[in-house]
Amino acid sequence: MDEFSFINSIKQSYYRQPTLIKGIGDDGAVIRQISKDIVMAVDTFVEDVHFSRKTVPLHSIGYRALAANISDLAAMAATPAFFLVSIVIPPSWSEDEILTIFEGMKEHASLYQMDLIGGDTVSGKELSISITVIGYTNKRQTSWRSHASEGDIVFVTGTLGDAQAGFHMLMNDGNYKSKAYFIKRHQRPSPRINVARELGKLPRVALNDVSDGIANEAAEIAEASNVNIILYEDRIPVSADFEQFPKDLQEQWKYFGGEDFELLGTVSEENWDIVEDIAQKTNVNITKIGYVKRPSKGAGLVYLQHNNGKILLSKDEYTHFK
Amino acid sequence: MDEFSFINSIKQSYYRQPTLIKGIGDDGAVIRQISKDIVMAVDTFVEDVHFSRKTVPLHSIGYRALAANISDLAAMAATPAFFLVSIVIPPSWSEDEILTIFEGMKEHASLYQMDLIGGDTVSGKELSISITVIGYTNKRQTSWRSHASEGDIVFVTGTLGDAQAGFHMLMNDGNYKSKAYFIKRHQRPSPRINVARELGKLPRVALNDVSDGIANEAAEIAEASNVNIILYEDRIPVSADFEQFPKDLQEQWKYFGGEDFELLGTVSEENWDIVEDIAQKTNVNITKIGYVKRPSKGAGLVYLQHNNGKILLSKDEYTHFK
């Protein structure tokens, strides 16, 4: 594979972002931004760890990899603007296959007017895609994990567990209901950028995107804010046909499944009506699923409240690398 | 390996950059920069492709990986400020070994007051390190590849081929002169940030860092500027004990060796005295090695001028992924 011609084939013919001074084609990209804050995040996807050609078409591998990054920007209430892609390519992959992955990324990027402004292409034994995203926030709009406070309402957008259910359907033949819906949630997730931008305008909001399951995401907010979070077992939103799966899988997926790229957040009770307005305006369901409590000692814990009392949501499920 | 405790062990206890609003610990890092342009680049290093534990100690693997990225900022005449690290970790690597690589990066970062502001840690079969760097430039200071112009002087900092010579010494036992010097050039290279910042103040300058060998770097400038570059064979600067190696290796290393992280540039003849002042001020040798020519047709070529005429420097050596 010739690196020069490869870069030419992924290079955009024009750039959309007015703040870009220099895109692909030099030692670095250059951005000029005066009035907004710049948000940055990076995520890496390894073949057969984070995705598989068996369950996701090449185009969707790219679409989904960028989704995970855009979702990080959503959790920061940022507007996506740029991305850089560093890719490790094994000899068994053809240039056409790699270009198809890039097409998937670029299709997703175009929904947000994002520009591909740099990257690196190297050879290796294992396909891995590392994406750096850059977005903008207004200076007074922050949605940090540390913003949760005693008495806050805990909410989540959309439904949980769908992406894992879709993955399960792809791995296990069967006669499933709403198969296309669940598979799409796995292969081509939609990060909640529009909702996040509205939520970011609240006087105080904590946001985390559900990449590793809400048990993990809630714990991150609880730790950063030095509070505990209590979730109501019977309020976790799931989609209509989610109940077709065995109970233990449902439990596993909705608390620990991840990759739904929904948003988990906390707001003060007095701002809840604004959240309801945002849900209506953006046409996205937002569900009250719990509350924030400041413990007398210790913090950073997540409890599941059910009929017979509270149980601690275990961390074991999500504290190891994946 | 526990991801939470791992992140805590690489997280800086304080940040040095005043423009940082939010570092590690949320979905993204946040920067506020009003008066300068922001420069970004990403590079990925794969074990046994870009580095080997056999020739580079773990600490220096980190030091060297960041060097390659800092060198991209140098080529953009930018001042380094931040970096994000995404690392794919195979099960055979211990947490201590990975932390040692991070120590090497952080030692190098501290020379430039750079802050580690984000990243990702994932598992895979092959160790790979992807680094995104962010730096600042003054708005009127650019050193783009497209800035070369007919009649310009072509120059290079320091000496070429040393990193490859050091690598050769590590791979082939022998009784070598200046062994420590050459090995250091391979294991712990020093990007030319200080020189680059001064060169960036010139009215017009093209810069490229020598990561893939000057034949490649000169071709990139020639292509972007739509000119040809002629290099004088007898003026390519090499270090004192470089001649101890066979002639064919010397040729290979100085034109195609790369990883010296010197700077190759072009300036107008009338600004050459400023370049000489910069060399003196920064205590770095800068050597005139050729000139820029606008061809009547075709462009983007690099010629080597020697006693008997000109030969085209082949591209075959550097156009494939590595």
CA distance A25 to B199: 20
**Measured between CA atoms, how close is B219 to chain A, in angstroms?**
11
Are A208 and A143 in contact by the 8 Å Cβ rule? The answer is no
Taking the Cβ of residue A95 and every Cβ of chain B, the question of whether any pair is shorter than 8 Å is answered with no
Contact yes or no for A26 and B125 at CB 8 A: no
User: What is the count of residue pairs from A and B with beta carbons less than 8 Å apart?
Assistant: 212
Tokens encoding B228 = 């040809």
Packing angle of the helix pair B58-75, B179-187 (nearest 10 deg): 70
Q: Which of residues 187-246 of A touch B (CB under 8 A)?
A: 207-209, 224
What local confidence, expressed as pLDDT, does residue A303 receive? 93
Structure confidence by residue, pLDDT tens digits, B57-83 = 999 999 999 999 999 999 999 999 999
Scan for tokens 């009784």, then name that residue: B175
CB contact under 8 A, A30 and B49: no
* Cα dihedral across residues B5, B122, B60, B54: positive or negative: positive
- C-beta of residue A31 within 8 angstroms of C-beta of residue A134: yes
CA dihedral A24, A26, A32, A33 (to 10 degrees): 50
- Which of B1, B78, B124 has the CB atom closest to A28's CB atom? B78
> For strand B20-22 and strand A309-312, is the pairing parallel, antiparallel, or unpaired?
unpaired
pLDDT of residue A167: 94
**Residue A170 identity (one-letter amino acid):** L
Task: Please state, in angstroms and rounded to a whole number, the distance separating the CA atoms of residues A190 and A188.
Answer: 7
The strand pairing partners of A116, in sequence order, are A83
Residues of A whose CB is below 8 A from B65: none
Residues 250-279 on A with a CB inside 8 Å of B are none
Backbone dihedral region for residue B315 (phi beyond 0: left; psi -120 to 50: alpha; all else: beta)? alpha
B127 touches chain A (CB under 8 A): no
> What is the CB neighbour count within 10 angstroms for residue B83?
27
Q: Please answer yes or no on whether A28 and B121 come within 8 Å at the CB atom.
A: no
pLDDT per residue over A86-125, tens digit each?
999 999 999 999 999 999 999 999 999 999 999 999 999 9
- pLDDT 10s digits, A264-273: 999 999 999 9
CA distance B217 to B192: 15
Q: With 90 as the cut, is the pLDDT of residue B219 above it?
A: yes
| Cα A226 from Cα B296, distance rounded (Å) | 69
Nearest-neighbour CA in chain A from B168: distance (Å): 22
Cβ atoms within 10 Å, residue A241: 15
Chain B: closest CA distance from residue A260 (Å): 16
Q: Give the sign of the dihedral formed by CA A257, CA A258, CA A263, CA A265.
A: positive
| B1 has a pLDDT exceeding 90 | no
Rounded distance between C-alpha atoms, residue A16 and residue A22, angstroms: 12
- A226-276, pLDDT tens digit by residue? 999 999 999 999 999 999 999 999 999 999 988 999 999 999 999 999 999
Tell me the pLDDT band of A1, cut-offs 50, 70 and 90.
Answer: low
Cross-chain CB nearest to B118 (options A2, A34, A42): A42
Query: Across the interface, do A38 and B32 touch by the CB < 8 Å criterion?
Result: yes
- Distance CA(B15)–CA(B11), nearest Å, equals 10
- Which residue of B1, B2, B17, B26 is the best one to mutate when testing the A interface, meaning the one whose CB has the most A CBs within 10 A? B26
Summarize the confidence of residues A65-79 as an average pLDDT: 96
**Burial of residue B14, with CB atoms counted within 10 A of its CB: 0-12 exposed, 13-18 middle, 19 or more buried:** exposed
Greatest C-alpha distance within chain B: 64
Partner-chain contact B3 A142, CB within 8 Å: no
How far, in Å, CA of B177 to CA of B193, rounded?
A: 28
Q: Which of B28, B73, B126 sits opposite A28 (nearest CB)?
A: B73
Q: A181-208, pLDDT tens digit by residue?
A: 999 999 999 999 999 999 999 999 999 9
A124 touches chain B (CB under 8 A): yes
Instruction: Tell me the two tokens of residue A151.
Output: 């008495």
Helices (H), chain B: 3-10, 58-75, 95-111, 162-171, 179-187, 193-199, 214-225, 247-252, 272-282
Q: How far is B300 from chain A (nearest CA, A)?
A: 13
Measured between beta carbons, the chain A residues lying within 8 angstroms of B209 are: 27
Could you read off the pLDDT of B150-187 as tens digits, one per residue?
999 999 999 999 999 999 999 999 999 999 999 999 99
Of A72, A78, A120, the CB nearest to B42: A120
Rounded Cα distance between A264 and A319, Å, is: 18
Distance, in Å, from the CA atom of A26 to the CA atom of A6, rounded to the nearest integer, reads 15
Domains in chain A, CATH or no CATH each: 3-137 (3.30.1330.10), 145-312 (3.90.650.10)
Average pLDDT score, chain A: 93
pLDDT score for B99: 95
Residues listed for chain B? 322
d(CA A226, CA A148): 8
Please check whether residue B77 touches A, CB under 8 A: no
Calculate the average pLDDT of chain B. 93
Token digits for B296? 């009547």
By the CB < 8 Å criterion, does A38 face chain B? yes
Q: Which residues pair with A209 in a beta bridge?
A: A263
**Closest Cα in chain B, distance from residue A123 (Å):** 6
Q: Does B302 touch chain A (CB under 8 A)?
A: no
Specify the 3-state DSSP secondary structure of A243: helix
CA angle A172, A239, A228 (to 5 degrees): 105
Torsions phi, psi of A27, nearest 5?
-75, -15
Closest CA to B4 of A261, A316, A39, A148: A316
Tens digits of residue pLDDT in A4-63? 788 888 888 889 998 998 899 888 999 988 889 999 999 999 999 999 998 999 999 999
- Asked if B41 reaches chain A (Cβ–Cβ under 8 Å), the answer is yes
Residue B145 pLDDT level (bands cut at 50, 70, 90): very high
Q: Hey, is A69 helix, strand or coil?
A: helix
A30:B321 CB<8 A:
no
**What are the tokens at B317?**
């050596």
